[in-house]
Amino acid sequence: MARFLSRPIAISLGDPAGIGPEVVAKCWDGRAVNNLPPFAAIGDPRAIAHVWDGPIELVDDPQEAEAVFDYALPLVQITAAEDDLPGHPSVAGAHCSLDSLEIAVGLARSGSAAAVVTGPVSKEQLYSIGFAHPGQTEFVAERCGVSQGNVAMMLAGPTLRTVPVTTHIPLAEVPAHLSPALIEARGRTTLRGLQRNFGIAEPTLAISGINPHSGEGGLLGREEIEIIEPAIAALRAEGWRVTGPHPADTMFHASARARYDAALCMYHDQALIPLKALHFEDGVNVTLGLPIIRTAPDHGTAFDIAGQDLADPRPMASAIQMAALCAANRELVE
Ligand X SMILES: NCC(=O)COP(=O)(O)O
137 binds, among ligand NAI, ligand X, none (CB under 5 to 8 A by kind): ligand X
Least distance in angstroms from the C-beta of 19 to ligand NAI: 6
Q: Checking DSSP bridges between strand 9-12 and strand 262-265, what pairing results, if any?
A: unpaired
Least distance in angstroms from the C-beta of 97 to ligand NAI: 9
96 binds, among ligand NAI, ligand X, none (CB under 5 to 8 A by kind): none
162 binds, among ligand NAI, ligand X, none (CB under 5 to 8 A by kind): none
Q: Is 311 in the site for ligand NAI (CB under 6 A)?
A: yes
Task: Check the CA dihedral 83-86-90-93 and report its sign.
Answer: positive
Q: Per CB under 6 A, which of residues 67..86 are in contact with ligand X?
A: none
Q: Is 275 in the site for ligand X (CB under 6 A)?
A: no
Site string for ligand NAI, 266-305 (x = CB under 6 A): -------------------x----------x--xxxx-xx
For 3, counting Cβ atoms within 10 Å of its Cβ (0-12 exposed, 13-18 middle, 19+ buried), the class is exposed
Site string for ligand X, 129-148 (x = CB under 6 A): ------xxx-----------
Least distance in angstroms from the C-beta of 239 to ligand X: 30
DSSP-derived secondary structure letter, 50 = T
Distance (Å, rounded) from C-alpha 17 to C-alpha 23?
A: 12
DSSP 287-330: EES-SS-EEEES----TTTTTTT----HHHHHHHHHHHHHHHHH
Q: Per CB under 6 A, which of residues 86..105 are in contact with ligand X?
A: none
Distance (Å, rounded) from C-alpha 212 to C-alpha 229?
A: 16
226 binds, among ligand NAI, ligand X, none (CB under 5 to 8 A by kind): none
Q: Is 134 in the site for ligand NAI (CB under 6 A)?
A: no
70 binds, among ligand NAI, ligand X, none (CB under 5 to 8 A by kind): none
Identify which of residues 121 and 207 has a Cβ nearer to ligand X in the complex.
Answer: 121
Q: Per CB under 6 A, which of residues 17..36 are in contact with ligand NAI?
A: 19, 23
> Of 123, 136, 138, 157, which is closest to residue 284 (Cα–Cα)?
157
The 3-state secondary structure of 223-286 reads HHHHHHHHHHHHHHHCCCEEEEEECHHHCCCHHHHCCCCEEEECCHHHHHHHHHHHHCCCCEEE
SS3 40: strand
Whether the CB-CB separation of 182 and 149 falls below 8 Å is answered with yes
Distance (Å, rounded) from C-alpha 305 to C-alpha 327?
A: 32
Distance (Å, rounded) from C-alpha 64 to C-alpha 157?
A: 31
Q: Is 276 annotated as a binding residue?
A: yes
Among 136, 162, 166, 295, binds ligand NAI (CB under 6 A): 136
CA 318 to chain centre: 11
Q: Is 168 annotated as a binding residue?
A: yes
315 binds, among ligand NAI, ligand X, none (CB under 5 to 8 A by kind): ligand NAI
Number of residues that bind ligand X (CB under 6 A): 7
Among 123, 177, 213, 257, binds ligand NAI (CB under 6 A): 123
Q: Is 137 annotated as a binding residue?
A: yes
Task: Check the CA dihedral 160-161-162-168 and report its sign.
Answer: positive
Binding residue ranges: 137, 168, 213, 268, 276, 285, 294
Residues binding ligand X (CB under 6 A): 135-137, 153, 272, 285, 296
